[in-house]
Chain A
Amino acid sequence: NAGVTQTPKFQVLKTGQSMTLQCAQDMNHEYMSWYRQDPGMGLRLIHYSVGAGITDQGEVPNGYNVSRSTTEDFPLRLLSAAPSQTSVYFCASSYSSASEYEQYFGPGTRLTVT
């Protein structure tokens, strides 16, 4: 069981470039989500998905797109990178969207936008 995997681990982009952060889980979890972690702000939810074909916005969705074509994969796309998107990005999955289930996190992607 690999759990939740993310690629790449590190990325540097120039302002205006686009890219996709990959996330995959092998636990057959229904619920997947993307967070960004910034100093002193904890983790903030960007987008989430309660199942294949269903996605929704979280707290800070602007500048990001997601899709969920399969249960396993949940890529996060940066449309036109901005320095404000410099952050550490975590993908997470959970058995379901119900409150009681803990989330399992990937190792994170450290993104720098210059």
Chain B
Amino acid sequence: AQKVTQAQTEISVVEKEDVTLDCVYETRDTTYYLFWYKQPPSGELVFLIRRNSFDEQNEISGRYSWNFQKSTSSFNFTITASQVVDSAVYFCALSGPDKETSGSRLTFGEGTQLTVNP
């Protein structure tokens, strides 16, 4: 069974602070994919990044960076110099093979509400 845990329900920071959102996952599969999605106040979900289980290189995209560590089953997301526009709910998700259907199963964490105050 797959499981994703985002232990931080809510985080509040002041603009320009760095903030890290934690994501811990459980799976028995050797091949799987990890995702981060952003849900701004407008409500839609926006895809941010995908990582496969064989690629542990960290990734940086502008102010965003992701740290994938298989040894601790974690895929943490850091926002550097946060801005008010970063305020959103962020979801970590895990996709792996669904043996019952030969397709895949996407499991979401509970989400972390990030509030960036001016």
User: Interface of A with B (CB < 8 Å)?
Assistant: 31, 33, 40-45, 48, 50, 56, 88, 90, 92, 97-100, 102-108
Contact = CB atoms under 8 A, between A and B. Distances in A.
A41 B106 CA distance: 14
14 contacts: A31-B103, A43-B108, A44-B108, A45-B106, A50-B101, A90-B45, A97-B104, A98-B104, A99-B31, A102-B50, A106-B44, A107-B42, A107-B44, A108-B43
B91 interface: yes
Interface of B: 4, 9, 31-33, 35, 37, 42-47, 50, 52, 91, 95-97, 101, 103-106, 108-111
A42 B91 contact: yes
Given A41-B110, A43-B91, A99 B45 contact: no
Contacts of B97: 99
Contacts of B37: 105
Contacts of A107: 42-44
Contacts of A104: 47
Given A50-B103, A97-B103, A42 B45 contact: no
A56 B104 CA distance: 12
Contacts of A108: 43-44
Contacts of A33: 106
Contacts of B45: 43, 90, 92, 105
Interface of B is mostly: strand
Given A40-B110, A97-B101, A105-B37, 7 more contacts: A42-B91, A56-B101, A97-B104, A99-B96, A100-B50, A103-B47, A108-B44
Contacts, number: 56
- Choose among A31, A105, A106 the residue with the greatest number of B CB atoms under 10 Å from its CB: A105
A13 to B, nearest CB: 19
Contact of A42 (B47, B52, B109): B109
A40 B31 CA distance: 28
B32 A99 contact: yes
A42 B113 CA distance: 11
B96 to A, nearest CB: 6
